[in-house]
Structure 1
C-alpha cells in the first residue's frame, strides 16, 4: 500500500517507525576531551537504548490490546460477523479490566453510532436478537416509553455480558447500584431489565433486594418514583414443559392454560434449583417479586411461524415446503412425544440460511 506522509494514518506510521529505529552508532573521538565526550555519549546512548526497548515493549503490548479492543468493538457493531476472525472472542467481554474496558468500549460505540446507523434498534449497546422473553421485554419498554429500549429511563443488564467475572463482584455491585440510582434520579418512571437472571452472582441479587423492598413500600404513595425490575430467566423450563404436557394429555387446550396452572410449580422449581442462587436469594424468600410469568414451549406450528417471520424480516420469499423443512430440522422434547421445540425462535431463524440461494 502506498502511503503519503500527509495522511493522518501515515503520519502515525512514520512516527512509529522512527520510534522503533535503533539509536545511531556513537562517533569516535580523539584525546581526553573527546574520550570524555564519548563516554558521556555512550552512557546517554545506553540509557536511550533501554528507553527505546521499554517503549517498544509498551507499543507491542498496546498493539495487542488495540487488536483485542477492535475485535470486541467489531463484535458489538457487527455481531453476525463475530467469530469469523480468529482473534474475535467467543464471549465479548473476556478482558482483564472489565469495568474500565467496558466504559471505553461504550464511549467508542456511542461515538460510532452517532454518525453511522449501526444497528436496527438505534442503540448499539443492545445487541440482543429479541425473541421470546426478550421480545416481550421490548414490547413492555415500547408501551411504557416513547423511545422504547432507547430511552434513557430503560437500562438493560445481561449477566454474562455486564457481570462476567465473579472476582469483580464488588465493583459490579457498585456499578449496578450506581446506574440504578442515576436512572431513578433522572426519570420519574424507570425500567430495569436483567437478562439471564439465573446467572447473576448471589451478591448482586442481594444488592437488588433493598431496591425491590423499597419499591413495595413506596407503591403506597402515588407521587413516588416508579421502577419496574424485569428478570428474564430460563429457570423452570423443564417443569413448564412437564405441566403443559400433562394438561394437554388431560384434554385441556393450550389456549385454556392459565397462570394458576403453572405458577405454583414454577415457584417450587425455582426455590429447589441448585444450579443458581436465584431461588435462595432475598428476592424469592421474601416474595419481593410481584409476578412469575411462565412462557409456554414452542410446538411444531409455532416453529413454522418463527421460520416464516425470519424470512419476512429479511424480505425474503419462502415456500410452505421450506417452512416444513426448517421445522423438521429442530429437536423436539420429550423424547417419546417430541412435542416441544428444545430451542427458541432465535435458533430457528438461523436455520433459514440453509435455504437461501
Structure 2
C-alpha cells in the first residue's frame, strides 16, 4: 500500500495496524469498524480495494466482500411512494426520522438480513458502505448490533467481520485543519491522528447523512475515524505516473505528466494548494493521452489498417 497510496501517511499507519490487530489477536472482542473521511479522489475507494485484494483471493470480486453505494442501494426519494403504503407494517425497532420511517425501516431490515445471512456463511466477511453521506439518516443504525461487543447474536459470531464506511463528510473540516496546521509551521508528514479524529467524529454525527445522530457513533463503536488528507500537486503527479505504469509506460516523460496536470484544478480559492478532485479522473485522461499519441505516431499505412479494424 505504501508504494501505491500517495500523501496519506495517516491512512497507511492506521489501516495497516488496525488490520494486523484484528487478525492477529485471535479472538477480537468486536467486529472491526473503520470510517474513511475526506474529499473525493483522496483514495478512500482505492484503499478499500487494497484491503479486499490483500484479504481475499478474488479481491473485491470475492463473494465474501459486500459493497453498498448510498444512492444506489438506499434510494430514499425514488422509493418514497412505494414504501409509504407500508407504514405501520414494521415495529419501531430503530430510530428513523418520522418523514421517512417506513422506508428507513425496510432498508434496515433488508440490510440486517443481508449481513446476518452472509456472516453465517463466512465469519471473515467484509462490508463496504460507500457514499455514507448520501444515505438516509437512520439506515446505518441497523449495523449497530453487528459492530457491538457481543460474543454472538442468535448463534452467529460477528466479531471477525470488517465494516468500512466511506464518506465525503468531514472533507472540508479536514482541509481547514490541514491549513491551520500548515500555517502554524507543522509539516504534513508530522500530522497525527489526534489532530483530526475528534473533528471527524463530531462532523459525521452532526452533518446530514447516514451517520447523522447515529447510535454507532454515540455508542463509540466506530474503532477508527481515518482522515484522508487533501492531495497536493506532488501527490497528484505521483498518481499520474502510477497510472502510466499501469498501462505499460514505466518511465513517462515529464512532458506527458505535465500534459495531464493541465486539467487538474487546485483550491481553496486563495491558497490553491490542494487538488479539487484528488487523483480522480486521472485514469481515463492518461488512457486517452496514450491512445492519442499512438494514433499520432502511426504511418499512413498503419492508420489505414487501424481505422479499417
- Which interval holds the TM-score relative to the shorter structure? 0.5 to 0.7
Match of 1:324 in 2: 258
Gaps in structure 1 of 5+ consecutive residues: 1-129
Corresponding position: 1:304 with 2:267: no
Counterparts of 1:203-214 in structure 2 under 5 Å?
203-213=138-148
Match of 2:172 in 1: 238
Higher helix share: 1
Match of 2:132 in 1: 197
- Tell me how far 1:131 sits from its aligned partner: 7.4
Match of 1:99 in 2: none
- For residues 299-353 of structure 1, the C-alpha deviation after alignment (integer angstroms, 9 at most, x for no partner) is 0011111222222222247321221232232121111110001102222333332
Corresponding position: 1:251 with 2:190: no
SS of structure 2 residue aligned to 1:268: helix
Q: Of residues 103, 111, 114 in structure 2, which corresponds to 1:176?
A: 111
TM-score by length of 2: 0.65
- Tell me how far 1:171 sits from its aligned partner: 4.2
Corresponding position: 1:135 with 2:46: yes
Aligned length: 222
CA contact (8 A) 1:271 1:280 kept: yes
SS of structure 2 residue aligned to 1:315: coil
SS of structure 1 residue aligned to 2:66: strand
Following the alignment from structure 1 to structure 2, what is the Cα–Cα distance between the partners of residues 142 and 302?
23
SS of structure 1 residue aligned to 2:127: strand
Match of 2:221 in 1: 288
Following the alignment from structure 1 to structure 2, what is the Cα–Cα distance between the partners of residues 180 and 189?
12
Higher strand share: 2
- For residues 125-165 of structure 1, the C-alpha deviation after alignment (integer angstroms, 9 at most, x for no partner) is xxxxx971111111212232233222222111111222224
Match of 2:90 in 1: none
- Relative distance call for 1:206 and 1:241 in structure 2 (3 A) is same
CA contact (8 A) 1:306 1:349 kept: no
TM-score by length of 1: 0.57
Following the alignment from structure 1 to structure 2, what is the Cα–Cα distance between the partners of residues 289 and 218?
18
Following the alignment from structure 2 to structure 1, what is the Cα–Cα distance between the partners of residues 202 and 125?
30
Q: RMSD over aligned Cα, in angstroms?
A: 2.4
Gaps in structure 2 of 5+ consecutive residues: 1-40, 84-102, 294-309
- Relative distance call for 1:142 and 1:349 in structure 2 (3 A) is closer
Moved over 6 A (4+): none
- For residues 35-87 of structure 1, the C-alpha deviation after alignment (integer angstroms, 9 at most, x for no partner) is xxxxxxxxxxxxxxxxxxxxxxxxxxxxxxxxxxxxxxxxxxxxxxxxxxxxx
SS of structure 2 residue aligned to 1:246: helix
Corresponding position: 1:268 with 2:199: no
Following the alignment from structure 1 to structure 2, what is the Cα–Cα distance between the partners of residues 210 and 322?
51
- For residues 272-313 of structure 1, the C-alpha deviation after alignment (integer angstroms, 9 at most, x for no partner) is 32x325231212222221110001111001111122222222
Greater Rg, structure 1 or structure 2?
A: 1
Match of 1:120 in 2: none
Match of 2:86 in 1: none
- Tell me how far 1:240 sits from its aligned partner: 0.7
CA contact (8 A) 2:126 2:161 kept: yes
Match of 2:282 in 1: 348
